[in-house]
Structures are given as C-alpha cells and as structure tokens.
Structure 1
C-alpha cells in the first residue's frame, strides 16, 4: 500500500523556488534542499525528480507567481502610462529587494542558460513573451497617436526588455535606488 504524502508538494515547491532564487542552482546542494524543504531526499526524488527537475519546476512556479502585466498593458485608453508603470514597477521591485535575489529568470540566464539548452529556450520564451506584449502595446500606442508614426514598436520593445532585465541585474548588486530611477527616466524619455 502506497503511503500518503505528509507534506504539501505545492508549499515545498514554493520553498524550493525561494532557495534556488536566493542561492542559485550550483550553490544549492541536495543537503541544502533537504534542510530547507524539511523533507527527506527520497521524498524530493519521488515527488519532483532530481535537483535539476526540481529547479525546472521552481522556474515554472516563479513564472506563474509573477504579476500578469498583460492585463496592465491591454487596458483600454492610453498605453504609455501603463508601459511607464510596468518599467517603474521593475525598478521599484529591484530597489526594494532586501534579499538581493534579482529575477529568477535573469539569474537562470546568467548562471545556466549558456550551457543548458533547455533552460536557454525557457529564458528565451519568457523574453519573447515580454517582447511580444510590449510590441503589441507600443503598436497600439502608435496607432492611438501616443507614439510618433516613425517609431518602431518592436525595436522599442526590445530596448525596454533589455532595460528591464538590466534593472534586475543592477538591483541585485547595487544599493543605490537613484541609479535605477535615473535609468528608467532616461529610457522612458525615448517614448515621448
């Protein structure tokens, strides 16, 4: 007869995500996971697979837990204030991350994507998603006359995506929120 799980897999996955987010993949040992998750190694393997499979599930959980900015960007009315809110939100979140975790996706891109094709594809898919959402919003802004007709929504979206990911990197290593605010203000001025 199979034993029932004596833990909540969803709660354990959330804790695994937090640990990987804080320490990274390589710096997190199986012993760290056992201690932090409060379950045995055999339970981790039986429920999630190995460390890599757990990391992939934690990555997916992170994406699921992020706010849905598509709703913000697709609201009726002016678009550029929503874009500004999104970019400023990235800077605010980065500036107030007391644990200096950065972004799980950016951390994955830097640590693992260069040598892990599966994670590289997942990172690219996430960035494609953000780029597409921004391109759509900026095309709508151009159609509504908020953005000059000669502005390329896709190029601007790529610029903002790069800025937003850079914000995550700077926020992880700098304790100067003015650095982020100034960069955001300068970047958003290209939309005017």
Structure 2
C-alpha cells in the first residue's frame, strides 16, 4: 500500500520557488531545501526529482503566474500605448523597490546565473522572453493600428527593445542602490513610443 504524502506538494513547490528566487540555484543546497520546505530529502526526490528538476519546476510556476499577469495587463481593450507604458513603469518600480530588489526577477536571475551553460534553464528563459515579446508586440501592433503609435515605428523592434530594457532594469535594480538610475532609463526608453 502506497503511503500518502504528509505535505502539500503545491505549498512545497511555492516554498522552493521563494528560496531559489531569493538565493539562486548554486547557493541553495539540498540541505537548505530540506530545512526550508520542512520535508525530507527522500520526499523531495520522490515528488520533484533532483535539485535541478525542482528548480525547473519552480521556474515554470513563476513563469505561469507572471505571464498571466502580463497577459491580463497587455490584453485590455481600448488604447494600448498607455498600458504598455504602465507595464514598463511597473517593471521599473518593482526593480527599484526595497524588499523586491534583493530578489530581482526569477527569470532574469536564471538567465544571468545559468543561461550560458544550462540548456534546460536557458530554454525556459527563452520561452518566457518570447512570450513577453509577443505580448508587447501585440499591444504595440494594436497601438499602431489604432493610430497611437507613429506610422514610422516598428512594433516588433520596439517590443524587442522594451523586453531588453525591462530585463536590464531588473539587473540594474537588483544591484544598484540608486532607484533614479532605473526610473530614468525607463522614462527615456518610453520617449521612443512618442
């Protein structure tokens, strides 16, 4: 007879996500996970696989929740350009907000820490960034069609620029003690939408 799990796998995955997000992959040991999740090593392996598999599952969860938020924001009916501006400003505000700066963005953190040598992690980062780019492109194409965006502006190129900017804001915001650096960069980039 199989034993029932004595912990909530969903809560454990969320706890792992928080730990990996705050500390990173390399700085989080299995012992840290056992302590933080409050479950045994064997239960972690049986439920999630090894540390790497658990990390990827945590990254998938993060992407799902954050992608839905962005989808809701950028898919609103009506004028699209104000929504795009609000999203970029939200990214800048989050990047420089106390309490959030130490964590940054889990996807950006993964790209910086693992992207160059971990194909599975890099693949998930690319999927996330492609999704963000597509959402931005869609909103900017709508803005273009509605006459909010100048006819000489390329919605795809602007979406790519904003994606790179937003990810850069996360890196700079995490490491800089000057919130003005992030805010000024965002505002200068948004002038390209005029």
Aligned pairs for 1:170-185 (under 5 A) are 170-185=172-187
Provide the secondary structure at the position in 1 that maps to 2:116.
helix
Ranges of 4+ aligned residues in structure 1 off by more than 3 Å: none
Instruction: Give the structure 1 partner of residue 26 of structure 2.
Output: 26
Q: Which residue of 2 aligns with 1:53?
A: 53
Q: What displacement does 1:126 show?
A: 0.7
Distance 2:71 2:41 in 1: 38
- 1:156-175 to structure 2, matched below 5 A, reads 156-175=158-177
Task: Work out the CA distance in 2 between the residues paired with 1:97 and 1:69.
Answer: 22
What is the number of equivalent residue pairs in this alignment?
A: 192
Contact 1:97–1:171, Cα closer than 8 Å, also in 2: no
Contact map agreement 2:48 2:54 (CA 8 A) in 1: yes
How big is each residue's C-alpha offset from its partner over 1:123-143, in whole Å with a ceiling of 9 and x where there is no partner?
A: 111111111111111111111
Within a 5 Å distance, the mapping from 1:82-121 to structure 2 comes to: 82-98=83-99, 100-121=102-123
What is the distance in 1 between the residues matched to 2:98 and 2:159? Answer: 25
Q: Distance in 2 between matches of 1:90 and 1:2?
A: 46
Quick one: which of 124, 127, 132 aligns to 1:125? 127
Structure 1 residue 74: deviation in Å?
1.9
Q: For the residues of structure 2 that align with 1:41 and 1:75, how far apart are their CA atoms?
A: 44
- Correspondence for 1:38: 38
Q: Deviations over 1:105-153 (max 9, x none)?
A: 0111111111111111111111111111111111111111111111100
Instruction: Report which stretch shifted further, 48-57 or 96-105.
Output: 96-105
* 2:70 aligned with 1:69: yes
Unaligned runs of 5+ in 2: none
Q: Which residue of 1 aligns with 2:146?
A: 144
Cα distance in 2, alignment partners of residues 72 and 158 from structure 1: 18
Q: Could you say which residue in structure 2 is the equivalent of 1:80?
A: 81
CA contact (8 A) 1:80 1:138 kept: yes
Aligned residues: CA RMSD: 1.1
Give TM-score scaled by structure 1 length. 0.96
**Distance in 1 (alpha carbons) for counterparts of 2:28 and 2:75:** 39
